[in-house]
């Protein structure tokens, strides 16, 4: 679920400075995890210098463009980015390290692992202020749609780990993936999914960040790259409704 081998002989202990979350901080999974899913769940805020600050989690930070700008713009929040690819993880972690050295801002960390599994098995209830999912892999072939992040189980875990009235924020410029999102929005913002007593989320527009370029929403490296090719980003905010279960 949350491996420690990063490939090329690297491990979580090799993460640069205090940026990378180490395997000791992450802890081990109990053998009876399936019987006690809450046993390994923790509040990731404990990994930060100021654990009392609101926690924001970014799923798949890419090269860290949004992460760095957000950490700089909101120094009173903590940011945890979760990246599975080892090379991208190290690139992002180094970028955060350089931000620390140049500005003294120390409110961002990076974890190498599967963000979906991390929310499910590692994150306790109602401890996250905002979850960010920007420009996720669209997995365009129909047989691969099951690999898309915004599945029912992921949305249920987002609802569980978010604090009352907190948000899941999404953006993509892939038209077919956005159509898939719209189907999920209809069910989770206008219906009652299995396991819920009422509608879990309220949908709203994703506000444009000040750092985003003309025609953009987030200002990430990926968004800038494809905006130059004429791609149009779309975004949404799903606000948790606390009385849905």
Query: Which residues are part of the catalytic machinery?
Result: 137
> Phi, psi at residue 177, to the nearest 5°?
-65, -40
41: Cα within 13 Å, side-chain hemisphere:
17
What's the per-residue H, E or C state across 111-130? Answer: EECCHHHHHHHHECCCCEEE
- Could you please report the per-residue DSSP string of 18-67? TTBPPHHHH-PPPTTTTT-TTTT-B-GGGGSSSTTSPEEEEE--TTSHHH
Task: Say how many C-beta atoms besides its own lie within 10 A of residue 131's C-beta.
Answer: 25
Interatomic CA distance for residues 77 and 182, integer angstroms: 30
Under DSSP, is residue 84 helix (H, G, I), strand (E, B) or coil? Answer: coil
């Amino acid at each position: 679920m949350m491996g420690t081998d990063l490939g090329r002989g690297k491990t979580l202990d090799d993460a640069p400075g205090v940026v990378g979350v180490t395997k000791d901080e992450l802890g081990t999974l109990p053998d009876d995890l399936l019987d006690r899913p809450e046993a390994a769940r923790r509040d990731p805020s404990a990994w930060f210098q100021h654990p009392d600050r609101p926690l924001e989690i970014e799923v798949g930070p890419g090269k860290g463009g949004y992460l760095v700008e957000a950490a700089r713009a909101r120094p009173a929040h903590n940011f945890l980015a979760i990246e599975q690819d080892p090379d991208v993880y190290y690139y992002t972690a180094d970028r955060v390290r350089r931000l620390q050295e140049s500005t003294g801002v120390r409110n961002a960390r990076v974890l190498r692992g599967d963000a979906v599994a991390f929310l499910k098995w590692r994150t306790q209830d109602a401890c996250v202020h905002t979850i960010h999912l920007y420009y996720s892999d669209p997995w365009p072939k129909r047989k691969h749609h099951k690999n898309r992040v915004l599945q029912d189980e992921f949305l249920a875990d987002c609802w569980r780990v978010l604090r009352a009235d907190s948000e899941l924020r999404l953006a993509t410029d892939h038209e077919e993936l956005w159509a898939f999102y719209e189907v999920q929005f209809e069910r989770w913002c206008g219906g009652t999914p299995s396991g819920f007593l009422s509608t879990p989320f309220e949908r709203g527009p994703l506000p444009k960040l000040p750092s985003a370029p003309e025609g953009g929403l987030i200002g990430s490296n990926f968004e800038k790259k494809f905006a130059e090719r004429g791609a149009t980003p779309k975004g949404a905010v799903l606000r948790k409704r606390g009385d849905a279960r």
